Structure 1
């Protein structure tokens, strides 16, 4: 399988850097090949075109990230803890790789509808993780029983996404990780079971 070959990972990592530094539109395949230390033609053994590289990059990085989150939240005993883990890991993943943060928050927001649909497909698994946490919180009676799952999913992901985008737009001048607990508290308060 191509994805297990070392050059595949080399090209993906090079693409993250090149796209972050030059922008998607100015990132020629030849620049990515040069950064990866491979011939231009080698890239086409793994990817159809530049768009395929961008989608594959997102699939690869997001896939690994979702697996880590799924593993980590298994160790937590309730939905509130799981939500905090998800927030911290979301921020940590991007705080520790500023090139990836630029690519996911800015360059993946291309106007190309086909590209957006492919990216949404990759995100479905992440949304399921959020859904499971919220469902668990509702079962535990920590979260309101009448929550609209679609709305909650958008709220949780949208909050994380927007806070990271804001951090990227501010040239990553502050500590993203320090926002974890505040964001967690806001979300928990919003999801909380109402007591009369």
Structure 2
């Protein structure tokens, strides 16, 4: 597996910084190599091209993102708590890594359609996690029995995504994590319906 190879994650982490600081289109492979402290040619032992670096970066970070959220929701009893820690972790992970926030919220969206399709494919793991929370909420009776899971998932992901993008666009001037209780309250209210 690539992620166990030496230098692979070093290059991924360097790419996050270089893409965040220069923009995807100006982020040359040579800049990424320099940031990672490796020779230009070393990059090509791990990645086909810059597009492959961006997709791999998103894939690796998303896997860690989902693993972290699954880990914290595992110990929670109620669906309300699970939703809260999911929202909190989403905001905290981006808040703790400003470069990653810029790459995920801005740079990936400016890429071509082919990259965006591959990125959407990677997002499936995260969306499935949201679905699990919603379905367990319906089963436990915490959420409305007629809740449209697909629509609720889009509402949750769309809200978190827009909050993070707005925060990045405003140069991260306010505390994203402080918004969590209000986001949680709104989303929870929407999922509970009239039950």
* Residue 2 (structure 1) shift: 2.4
Find the counterpart in structure 2 of residue 128 from structure 1: 128
Q: TM-score of the superposition, structure 1-length normalised?
A: 0.97
Give the Cα separation in 1 of the matches to 2:190 and 2:152: 9
Total equivalences in the alignment? 195
Give the Cα separation in 2 of the matches to 1:135 and 1:123: 18
In the alignment, is residue 160 of structure 1 matched against residue 160 of structure 2?
yes
Find the counterpart in structure 2 of residue 56 from structure 1: 56
- Uncovered stretches (5+) of structure 1, i.e. residues with no partner: none
- Uncovered stretches (5+) of structure 2, i.e. residues with no partner: none
Find the counterpart in structure 1 of residue 5 from structure 2: 5
Query: Once superposed, what is the RMSD of the aligned Cα atoms?
Result: 0.9
Find the counterpart in structure 1 of residue 114 from structure 2: 114
Matches within 5 A, 1:26-175: 26-175=26-175
* Residue 111 (structure 1) shift: 4.4
Find the counterpart in structure 2 of residue 15 from structure 1: 15
Give the Cα separation in 1 of the matches to 2:101 and 2:68: 17
* Residue 151 (structure 1) shift: 0.8
Give the Cα separation in 2 of the matches to 1:91 and 1:109: 19
* Residue 6 (structure 1) shift: 2.7
| Greater displacement, 1-10 / 175-184 | 1-10
Give the Cα separation in 1 of the matches to 2:110 and 2:59: 16
Provide runs of 4+ in structure 1 moved above 3 Å: none
* Residue 193 (structure 1) shift: 4.1
SS at match of 2:114: helix
Q: TM-score of the superposition, structure 2-length normalised?
A: 0.98
Q: Is the 8 A contact 1:20 1:103 kept in 2?
A: yes
* Residue 110 (structure 1) shift: 2.6
SS at match of 1:99: helix
Give the Cα separation in 2 of the matches to 1:178 and 1:79: 21
| Greater displacement, 85-94 / 139-148 | 139-148
Give the Cα separation in 2 of the matches to 1:193 and 1:17: 42
Q: CA separation of 1:111/1:37 partners in 2, compared to 1, >3 Å: closer, same or farther?
A: closer
